[in-house]
């Protein structure tokens, strides 16, 4: 019997390929762009590439869209729901790794780690100087978390170990979280004005796109650090570039950018006060393996017409 056909964001990483071997036939993403008359049972995405109604209509017999990752802002959920195609994702298992990355970026930016690493390797470094590269102490300073979901809560836990008072801004106030994590709910403006560090942990949505614009950056302290472990478009890249160039804020730590990647000659890449990672939030051996297992399980269940391990629904 022929294997079910799956269009995937190829090339797939070897872990995913091994999990799918002998179970499905993999077709390249170009099939989703160009369309086909042959049935396609599944669509497997890594994130970032748009999945919309016209694409779903180009894949006859599609039974499931499975995303390797939790963020599904690139998938038009309403379009999938209108066609009764379930969408699966991988929540829950990447919170710790992503929160670790938030703190990695915060500490690296505050302690000027990347700048220091460059200096330690270059010929100019001939002797220790007690006055060079003084950074900021993170412990004891106030952290403002935007988006107190699963990842935001893990960030708040880490902040407690650094003796940091935690403020948060969220769509809804969460009394249970406040009690457990001793985080204080504040309005967005208050969070910007009073936080020493602002960490973005929210999903990308119509409400959060461009949330950190020039006006928001102007409200932040000149000593503030902005960390983005959410999605690039939550921040207005042009406004952030100007704020960093003019030292309107102290620094930024970015796991995500808009666009991603930035053009190689983008002015942000020339600044010492920005630390950038190439979207590494969940990039640990352990977490990426779990993401592969769950996303493959979602795919195979969807193809078999069974309930997914994790199905994501369009917001009402
Ligand atoms: C993934 C992510 O690295 O889960 C998400 O939403 O952004 C990351 O964990 C990415 O989706 C992998 O392609």
What integer pLDDT is reported at residue 115 of this predicted model? Answer: 96
Nearest-angstrom CA–CA distance, 90 and 309: 9
Regarding whether 267 and 138 lie in a shared domain, the answer is: yes
Regarding whether 202 and 215 lie in a shared domain, the answer is: yes
CATH number at residue 247: 3.40.50.720
What integer pLDDT is reported at residue 47 of this predicted model? Answer: 84
Regarding whether 306 and 208 lie in a shared domain, the answer is: no
The answer as to whether 227 is a domain residue is yes
Regarding whether 55 and 75 lie in a shared domain, the answer is: yes
The answer as to whether 267 is a domain residue is yes
The answer as to whether 238 is a domain residue is yes
Q: Best mutation site among 67, 282, 310 for ligand 1, i.e. most ligand atoms within 8 A of its Cβ?
A: 282
Residues with CB under 6 Å of ligand 1 are 46-47, 68-71, 94, 279, 281-282
Regarding whether 238 and 138 lie in a shared domain, the answer is: yes
| pLDDT < 50 stretches in the chain | none
Regarding whether 228 and 127 lie in a shared domain, the answer is: yes
The answer as to whether 281 is a domain residue is no
Long-range contacts of 76-80 (CB under 8 A, 24+ apart): 76/50, 76/51, 76/52, 77/312, 77/313, 77/314, 77/315, 78/314, 79/52, 79/53, 80/51, 80/56, 80/314
Residue bearing tokens 């979207």? 279
Distances in whole angstroms, Cα of residue 44 to Cα of each of 20, 220, 263: 11, 40, 27
Nearest-angstrom CA–CA distance, 301 and 310: 10
What integer pLDDT is reported at residue 291 of this predicted model? Answer: 98
Q: What is the pLDDT of residues 199-214, one digit of tens each?
A: 999 999 999 999 999 9
Nearest-angstrom CA–CA distance, 256 and 212: 14
**3-class secondary structure, 186:** coil
Q: What is the pLDDT of residues 242-275, one digit of tens each?
A: 999 999 999 999 999 999 999 999 999 999 999 9
Q: How many A from CA of 74 to the centre of ligand 1? A: 11
The answer as to whether 27 is a domain residue is yes
Regarding whether 308 and 259 lie in a shared domain, the answer is: no
Domain total for the chain? 2
Residues 6+ apart with CB under 8 A from 296: 16, 19, 20, 66
Q: Best mutation site among 94, 147, 286 for ligand 1, i.e. most ligand atoms within 8 A of its Cβ?
A: 94
Regarding whether 142 and 249 lie in a shared domain, the answer is: yes
Nearest-angstrom CA–CA distance, 107 and 88: 34
Spell 238-248 as b/e; 16+ CB within 10 A means b: ebbbebbeeeb
Is residue 196 within 8 A of residue 249, CB to CB? The reply is no
Regarding whether 56 and 124 lie in a shared domain, the answer is: no
Q: How many A from CA of 150 to the centre of ligand 1? A: 14
Q: How many A from CA of 119 to the centre of ligand 1? A: 32
10 Å CB burial of residue 234 (0-12, 13-18, 19+) is: buried
Nearest atom within ligand 1 for CA of residue 97:
9
The answer as to whether 65 is a domain residue is yes
The answer as to whether 75 is a domain residue is yes
Regarding whether 121 and 74 lie in a shared domain, the answer is: no
Regarding whether 293 and 246 lie in a shared domain, the answer is: no
The answer as to whether 295 is a domain residue is yes
What integer pLDDT is reported at residue 99 of this predicted model? Answer: 98
How many other CB atoms sit within 10 Å of the CB of residue 305? Answer: 9
Residue bearing tokens 């460059």? 118
Active-site residue set: 231, 260, 279
The number of residues making up the chain comes to 316
Regarding whether 101 and 77 lie in a shared domain, the answer is: no
What integer pLDDT is reported at residue 1 of this predicted model? Answer: 84
Nearest-angstrom CA–CA distance, 203 and 73: 8
The full DSSP string for 115-172 is: HHHHHHHSTT--S--TTSS-----TTS-EEEE--SHHHHHHHHHHHHTT--EEEE-SS
Nearest to 158 by CA among 102, 223, 110, 93: 102
Domain of residue 23, residue span: 5-93+286-312
């Amino acid at each position: 019997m022929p294997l079910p056909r799956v269009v995937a964001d190829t090339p797939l990483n070897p872990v995913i390929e091994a999990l799918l071997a002998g179970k499905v036939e993999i077709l390249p993403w170009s099939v989703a762009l160009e369309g086909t008359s042959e049935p396609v049972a599944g669509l497997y995405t890594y994130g970032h590439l748009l999945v919309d109604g016209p694409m779903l209509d180009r894949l006859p017999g599609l039974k499931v869209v499975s995303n390797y990752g939790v963020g599904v802002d690139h998938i038009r959920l309403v379009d999938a729901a209108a066609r009764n195609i379930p969408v699966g994702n991988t929540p829950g298992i990447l919170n710790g790794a992503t929160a670790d990355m938030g703190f990695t970026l915060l500490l690296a930016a505050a302690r000027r780690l990347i700048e220091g690493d460059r200096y330690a390797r270059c010929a100019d470094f001939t002797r220790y100087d007690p006055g060079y590269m003084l950074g900021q102490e993170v412990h004891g300073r106030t952290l403002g978390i935007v988006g107190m979901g699963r990842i935001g809560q893990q960030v708040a836990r880490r902040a407690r170990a650094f003796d940091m008072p935690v403020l948060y801004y969220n769509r809804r106030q969460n009394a249970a979280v406040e009690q457990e994590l001793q985080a204080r709910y504040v309005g967005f403006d208050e969070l910007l004005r009073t936080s020493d560090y602002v960490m973005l942990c929210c999903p990308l949505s119509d409400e959060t796109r461009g949330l950190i614009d020039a006006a928001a950056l102007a409200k932040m302290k000149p000593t503030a650090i902005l960390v983005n472990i959410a999605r690039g478009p939550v921040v207005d890249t042009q406004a952030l570039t100007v704020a960093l160039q003019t030292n309107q804020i102290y620094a930024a730590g970015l796991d995500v950018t808009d666009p991603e990647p930035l053009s190689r000659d983008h002015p942000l890449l020339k600044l010492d006060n920005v630390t950038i990672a190439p979207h590494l939030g969940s990039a640990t051996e352990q977490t990426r393996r779990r993401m592969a297992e769950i996303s493959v399980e979602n795919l195979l269940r969807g193809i078999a017409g069974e309930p997914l391990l994790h199905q994501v629904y369009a917001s009402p």
